[in-house]
Amino acid sequence: MDVAVIGDTHIPSRAHAIPAPFRERIEAADHVIHTGDFDAEGTLADIRAMASRLTAVAGNVDRRMGLPDVATVELGDVTFVVTHGAGSHRGYERRVANIVREEAGPNAVGVAGHTHEVLDTVHDGVRLLNPGSATGAPSADRATMLTLGVRDGELDVTVHEA
């Protein structure tokens, strides 16, 4: 299964559009995960139209869109816990790892945004992924996203820049 992971799009307040190469990856993916901060309902609608299947959570600027704060999805025998990760940058990894443990246990993979910085690390036994900002919205220094190859419980992560 091929999964596109994006977040922190911030359209229209900080950016105008998702780069075309990223749009192509989103449209080709079997599943799309968005870590929040769409910024506008039109942005959410645009991504829903591109994605064959979408798991999305509310970011700290998405409070009126009816999205959950945390979502859990199983793809290719891997459980993903998706949250925005809002709050201080200090303690970010600990905070997200704790949410993952509470929702699905330590074997799940945490997917979060908020920092606009790409992350693929293990914190206290929990793997954490952050796609950065799909539009390069400030404070990001470039547009980034992740694609995941998920098969039989194995996960292959690729970082893309535009």
Task: Please identify which residue in the block is written with the tokens 């979502």.
Answer: 71
Neighbours of 133 (CB within 10 A): 30
Query: What pLDDT does 87 receive?
Result: 93
Q: Is 141 left (phi over 0), alpha (psi -120 to 50) or beta?
A: alpha
**Cβ atoms of 56 and 34 closer than 8 Å:** yes
Strands 118-123 and 154-161: unpaired
pLDDT in tens, the chain (162 residues): 999 999 999 999 999 999 999 999 999 999 999 999 999 999 999 999 999 999 999 999 998 899 999 999 999 999 999 999 999 999 999 999 999 999 999 899 999 999 999 999 999 999 999 999 999 999 999 999 999 999 999 999 999 999
What span, in angstroms and rounded, lies between the C-alpha atoms of 38 and 137?
11
What span, in angstroms and rounded, lies between the C-alpha atoms of 82 and 124?
18
What span, in angstroms and rounded, lies between the C-alpha atoms of 45 and 49?
6
What span, in angstroms and rounded, lies between the C-alpha atoms of 58 and 47?
14
Q: Which fold has domain 2-161?
A: Purple Acid Phosphatase; chain A, domain 2 (3.60.21)
